Structure formats: C-alpha cells, structure tokens
Structure 1
Amino acid sequence: MLTLQSRIRRSPDCLAAELEGEVVMMNVENGAYYQLDATGTDIWNRLEAPVEIGALCAELAQLYDGPLADIQRDVLAFLSELAERKLVLAA
C-alpha cells in the first residue's frame, strides 16, 4: 500500500510515449495499453527519477493551487492504480 512517505519510480517494464500532450503507455509484461490525461501526464513526467509521494503532492499543490489534502488523496489513488497495473514501483 502506498503512503505519502513511499518513494516510487517508473517501472522498467513500461514503455511510454507522449503524443499530443498525453502519455500512452504499454505494460510489456501483459501487453496492456493505457492513456493518461494532461494531469496524469504531468505526474508521470515527474516520476522520471524516484520521488517521495508527499513531496510530489506538495509540488502539485503549489502548481495547481488546490487543497493539499485533496491533491494527496487523488494522487495516492492515481499512483495506487498505476502500481496495481505495474506501471510504477517502490523505489
């Protein structure tokens, strides 16, 4: 289970490319394709190097000028979904 203290990184088993401002990904292990919207793409781009989820949320709260608690909840849910699909891993 991911927490705000978890450090995550992109999975090496994930191929990704940006097309027209959105990321399209494929999990090499199972061949499944995924597409991220603009916000998901922004988060994905910030995972190039391992990052602590709490620090990522703090950056996003400043950038998007939203309530930190809401951003933390949404980012944890999003990253948990990516982790379930083996697109991100614990660093």
Structure 2
Amino acid sequence: MTTSASDSEKYIRNPDIVFRNMDGSGFLADQNNDAMYYLNETGTAIWHFLQDPAAVTDIITTMQAAFPDTPEQQIEQDIRTTFMRLVEKGMVIPEQ
C-alpha cells in the first residue's frame, strides 16, 4: 500500500469502503476489517470529490476556488493532512 501521495498521482475511493453521510460529516466503513472512520466536512468533501480519479492538487485547487475567503495555505494544509490520512488507512488508493 502506498503511504504517501505525489501531487500529480491520481487517486480513487477504495471500492471496499462504504460511506455514510451524517449532516455534512460522514463515516467510512472498511468491510475487510470491520473498522469505522469518522470524516469531518473536509474529509467528506474529499470523499465526494474522489467519485472520479483526482490528484491532491486538483482537490486543493477546487476547494480554494470554492472558499475564496479562507486562506489558501489553510485549505492546502487541511486537504493534504486529511488526504494523507485517507491514503495511509487505505480508504483512498492510487488509480490503477
């Protein structure tokens, strides 16, 4: 499993993961090990964005455009941190 993501590498949702929406946040359930993970609004936005393959920079650029009043560095840091956690846990995987 890849534990780091390059800026240009495209990622997708792991097909073994089930998402449940809860008032803007959500939960991911890993069917292979019965684990559940909470997603805040940032994580939920990333999960929805990865309906199609995308690179972390694609997500950052889109979120910065969607929230112009939020400092770009804050958005980038939040996205990168959350994205890396999803990759490390195997919730998000490289596109094959």
- Shift of the 90–54 alpha-carbon distance from structure 1 to 2, 3 Å rule, reads same
Unaligned runs of 5+ in 2: none
Q: Hey, what's the Cα distance between the residues in 1 that align with 2:9 and 2:52?
A: 14
Quote the offset at 1:28 in angstroms: 1.3
Give the TM-score normalised by structure 1: 0.86
| Map 1:42-57 → 2, pairs under 5 A | 42-57=45-60
The separation in 2 between residues aligned to 1:49 and 1:22, in whole angstroms, is 20
- For 2:81 and 2:45, the matched residues in 1 are separated by 15
Q: Are 1:86 and 2:61 an aligned pair?
A: no
Q: List structure 1 segments (4+ residues) > 6 angstroms apart after TM superposition.
A: none
Between the aligned residues of both structures, percent identity stands at 23
Q: Deviations over 1:51-85 (max 9, x none)?
A: 12111100101112233333223212211111111
- Matched residues, number: 91
- Unpaired segments of 5 or more residues in structure 1? none
- Equivalent position SS for 2:78: helix
